Structure 1
Amino acid sequence: MSLRRQLAELLVLRCSGHQLDQQRRYPQWELSNSELRHWLSEGVGGVILLGGSAAELALRCRQLQQWARTPLLLCADVEEGVGQRFDGASWLAPPLALAGLHRRDPAAATALARAYGRCTALEARALGLNWVLGPVCDVNNNPANPVINVRAWAETAESAAALSQAFAGALQSCGVLGCAKHFPGHGDTASDSHLELPLIPHGRQRLDAVELAPFRSAIAGGIAAVMTAHLLLPELDAARPATLSAAVLQQLLRQELGFEGLVVTDALVMEAITSRYGAGEAAALAFEAGADLILMPADAGAALDALEEGCRSGRFSPQRLQQSLARRRAALTRTQPGPLTAQEGLDQLAALAPQHQKLNQQLLSCSLECQGQGPPTGPGLNLIRVDNSLQCPALPLQAPALLRPTQAGFQPRLMDDLAGPWASAGLGDGPVLLQLFVRGNPFRGNSDGGTPWRALVESLLAEQRLAGLVIYGSPYLWRELKPLLPKALPAVYSPAQMPAAQALALQAMGLEGASDDSGFTD
């Protein structure tokens, strides 16, 4: 096998789960079919898939393996179940939903985390994936964190370690690889590494006690892979971000923590890396630092050229390349094959659906917080805040957040980041039911905190116009606004945003669902 083909096995490139090029949502990052076929014929060994339906994913995974010259690592960011990325599979409440239960009943929370991992693995394997890029092992102890938030399992090291390991153990017992991320810990940051390079100022004693604890647990439990973080830790390496630091990846992760599995970079297309080093040198530096797999290089050709030049020039030893290839082969032996055909996989998915829907209801119920007496009294305005009203998977036309308030006399009005907050004077003169869909989101560069929503709530309260409040997502906004509310005012918090979460939250507020056929056309 040629040197270039061996190196190609270490690349993980991104593609859409859709079959057709024109269906790609992010063509700047997702390869076309012709590009995919080219790179897979060159020996590329991994693909990360995003977008599409479960049925499309089942077909796509089998298509990719047919195009490939080597057994593929097929992965996805499905931290909230496979349905988070692929319609038709199970979309679960985010991991942070279990943090509160773990404080009250650790055994029950751990059991649910195991069920979460099993659900994710069985659906991933049925559809053709053999690697899940989770669990998130970051301890989300900074409310201003713009990118982790509800993706984390907990806000304390002890709970994060217990829950993430329960998830990972169940996941891998079903023949799907896990990936602990983002090493050595992305929880206590206030900037987004998709856009800039965060800095962790803590000393080694603090890192050992908090950030590293969940990773130690994951490694002890046999996690297959660890993903690096694009952030700077001056205590460990003042010059290079963790992804490019031998002090972090070799001395700390390999030697001190004893990790022997795959080290994969976070996406090298992220601005924290590409804006500083370029596509080729970023890949070379990551490999030199100790990474085995290069995830989403900004330019696959440049990355492969740089790796090949490094091997030919003596920058990387032949043994170094063989170590990474051996780790990749060893990881593949831990996977279990999925169904032979896409239809068999979809049949398995359908058979699993009832128990996985029940699991999600348990996750939603155990994390719901309520106060006051409902239902809200209309008629009035149903003011809904989302990230982007043109692209919000949580709000299909039949979403409970739209339909149930309408049935109670509250007419919907959407606002998003493009519109900004509205003064209460622009909201008419009747009651307002306020529903806020808020959570940390990559590439947006903010944590979606209370300001200016606090000012709007205070204004509506002063005018005695706030009929009710529902927050879907970030617990930090709920904690900020809840003390402002009269005890009798109906208010609900759910860490999840999907329609099932809306239905449960609004039911708790007294807004029961009724049959609706407004979507019918003839």
Structure 2
Amino acid sequence: MTTVDLDRLAHGVLFPALGRPTPPVWVAERVRRGLGGFVVFGRDIVSREQLGRLTGELHGLREHVLLATDEEGGDVTRIESYGGTSVPGNYALGRLDDLDATRVAAEQIGLSLVAAGIDWDLAPAVDTAANPLSPNGVRTFGADRVAAHAAAWVEGLQSTGVSACAKHYPGHGLSGTDGHLATPTVDVHRDDLLGWYLDPFRSAIAAGVDSIMVSHDLVRQVDDVPATLSPVLLTDVLRGELGYDGVVITDALEM
């Protein structure tokens, strides 16, 4: 394998943020060398028109440049104020417990992302909120029926042509730690992990989810390294036990 091939492959697995509302000067060269795409955050958006120009310019750099964002609904939204759609967040949908409503909410998000030029939604969060002190609780469907809502959300979003991303595998729900501040520790035995804790991810996979985001959770009873580095959780469990053969992406490395 040549240095050029290695460089292209290395760029292909990176998915950086932009950090500004116009394409930075380094973008075109990196895309030419194989960069797969970008994540668009709220700080990159100042108006509906500007967002359209930004995504148009980035898509114009090369065929198949992927643009992603975190549009979960509820409190986690990037484009609601810029031509997006206001929909309930996962916790509200879980309490309502109407799978059709969940499906429609995700579909509306998908339609707004299509209009904005976004290809890939880094959502839904399908962590099972087994710990009532979980800082991610409001972003989840709750502690019950999470698997059913995960599938409905994935189906609704992907019916619009936007890819979904079930997160944060293997799930923050047993942890009381905010992953933005420290490493969440999930105290679950492998038998329970496979027996019920991963059911939302099984359901999302069965629904045809295009991608899964892996967290930096430390599951000490399964492996002694974070999930993003764990051959047990990534290869043995996700690829092997769950049979997932789609795209896997890590959570932000700043976590």
Could you state the TM-score of these two structures normalised by the residue count of structure 2? 0.90
Of residues 136, 143, 161, the one that matches 2:132 is 143
Residue 10 (structure 1) aligns with: 13
Structure 1 residue 174 corresponds to structure 2 residue 153: no
Number of aligned pairs?
247
Residue 222 (structure 2) aligns with: 236
Pair 1:183–1:73, CA change in 2 (3 A): same
Residue 78 (structure 1) aligns with: 71
Pair 1:232–1:185, CA change in 2 (3 A): same
Pair 1:84–1:91, CA change in 2 (3 A): farther
The 1-side partners of 2:86 and 2:60 are apart by: 28
Superposed displacement of residue 173, structure 1: 1.7
SS at match of 1:11: coil
Q: Give ranges in structure 2 of 5+ residues lacking alignment.
A: none
Pair 1:83–1:57, CA change in 2 (3 A): farther
Q: How does 1:39-438 map to 2 (within 5 A)?
A: 39-51=30-42, 52=45, 53-67=47-61, 69-80=62-73, 84-86=77-79, 87-88=81-82, 89-102=84-97, 109-146=98-135, 148-156=136-144, 159-237=145-223, 239-270=224-255
Could you tell me which amino acid in structure 1 is paired with residue 138 of structure 2?
A: V
The 1-side partners of 2:70 and 2:48 are apart by: 14
8 Å CA contact 2:9–2:34 kept in 1: the answer is: yes
SS at match of 2:26: helix
Pair 1:122–1:17, CA change in 2 (3 A): farther
Superposed displacement of residue 111, structure 1: 0.5
Superposed displacement of residue 83, structure 1: 8.8
CA deviations 1:424-457 (Å, max 9, x no partner) are xxxxxxxxxxxxxxxxxxxxxxxxxxxxxxxxxx
Superposed displacement of residue 225, structure 1: 0.5
The 2-side partners of 1:183 and 1:2 are apart by: 30
SS at match of 2:17: strand
RMSD: 1.9
Superposed displacement of residue 116, structure 1: 1.0
Could you tell me which amino acid in structure 2 is paired with residue 55 of structure 1?
A: E
Q: Give ranges in structure 1 of 5+ residues lacking alignment.
A: 20-31, 103-108, 271-522
Could you tell me which amino acid in structure 2 is paired with residue 92 of structure 1?
A: V
The 2-side partners of 1:170 and 1:93 are apart by: 14
The 1-side partners of 2:50 and 2:102 are apart by: 28
CA deviations 1:97-127 (Å, max 9, x no partner) are 022222xxxxxx1010110111011111111
The 1-side partners of 2:26 and 2:234 are apart by: 31
Greater CA radius of gyration, 1 or 2? Answer: 1
Pair 1:120–1:82, CA change in 2 (3 A): farther
8 Å CA contact 1:162–1:214 kept in 2: the answer is: yes
SS at match of 1:143: coil
The 2-side partners of 1:72 and 1:253 are apart by: 26
8 Å CA contact 2:13–2:36 kept in 1: the answer is: yes
The 2-side partners of 1:39 and 1:188 are apart by: 39
Could you state the TM-score of these two structures normalised by the residue count of structure 1? 0.45
Pair 1:167–1:247, CA change in 2 (3 A): same
8 Å CA contact 1:225–1:264 kept in 2: the answer is: yes
8 Å CA contact 1:43–1:70 kept in 2: the answer is: no
8 Å CA contact 1:232–1:242 kept in 2: the answer is: yes
Superposed displacement of residue 185, structure 1: 1.0
SS at match of 2:187: coil
Residue 27 (structure 2) aligns with: 36
The 1-side partners of 2:7 and 2:63 are apart by: 14
Moved segments of 4+, more than 4 Å: none
CA deviations 1:315-369 (Å, max 9, x no partner) are xxxxxxxxxxxxxxxxxxxxxxxxxxxxxxxxxxxxxxxxxxxxxxxxxxxxxxx
The 1-side partners of 2:49 and 2:103 are apart by: 26
The 2-side partners of 1:83 and 1:49 are apart by: 13
SS at match of 1:12: coil
The 1-side partners of 2:17 and 2:9 are apart by: 19
SS at match of 2:236: helix
